[in-house]
Amino acid sequence: MNAIILAAGMGRRLFPDTENIPKGMVKLFDKSLIEMQIDIFRSCDINDITIVTGYRSEVIDIPGVNYVKNENYETTNMNESLFCALEPSSSPVLVTYSDIVFEQKIVQQMLENTDGVRLAVNLNWKKYYKNRTMHPLSEAENVLVENGKILQIRKNISESLQNQQIGEFLGIMMLSPDHVKILLERYSYLKKNHVGAFHNSISLSNAYITDMLQEIINCGVNVNPVFTEGRWLEIDTPEDLKNAEKSISKF
């Protein structure tokens, strides 16, 4: 099992906390967000860990992990960071955003089935937006689920049919080796052929992972939700950090 932590971004909305450090190195008490994730991975016997760096890459200095730098982090987005590190693999790959905190049981749920493309999804997501005035509901990366499959993934999905569910993608994704190959092949094709806007982003280079996931869904690839039971927090603003400091001891 391999893990990739995406930590190239500047985290502008967390200024001044990220003025001199990457977003994932913001600390909750005595540990950075990235170190908290790595502790969980290692507890789950995931020891082949790669961190994708970018902004202030020299600050991330954690022993026993691999590093890949997105040299174009200032002009690209998270999807580009993923493909800086993603390569053909004989093992499943777990991908996480660096600005999230979660319980170990979420990773354990993801490990129960490593086939296909599987996303950690919370159906009771709105409760996590209480006291988040700086990060409203409309900023959530939503998924629209029907019959156990994700039909849409983008920000601010607000309408669904009676047989559909709206959840939030938590920034945790499992890829089988076959689906790593599918993603790499599709990305290579797009790099050579795609021009202009890409789903909900202005270009492929500025795309989010959600844009790439929508791309493979549209190509007929099944993307499945894992309805998680563990607690989770996103640290995107100073307000989020303060809220986390109040609640993290309950994890």
Range of the domain at 87: 2-250
Tokens 């159906």, residue? 123
- Three-state DSSP at 170 gives strand
Instruction: Give how many domains the chain has, as a whole number.
Output: 1
Task: Supply the mean pLDDT for the chain.
Answer: 95
Phi then psi for 133, rounded to 5 degrees? -65, -25
pLDDT in the model for residue 192:
98
What CATH number corresponds to the domain at position 80?
3.90.550.10
pLDDT in the model for residue 10:
83
Q: What is this structure's pTM? A: 0.96
215, pLDDT greater than 60: yes
Tokens 């994730």, residue? 37
> Tell me: the pLDDT tens digits for 186-204?
999 999 999 999 999 999 9
What is the number of helices (H) and of strands (E) in the chain? 6, 13
Within 8 A by CB and 6+ apart from 48, the residues are 1, 2, 3, 66, 91
Confidence category of residue 250, pLDDT binned at 50, 70, 90 = low
pLDDT in the model for residue 249:
64
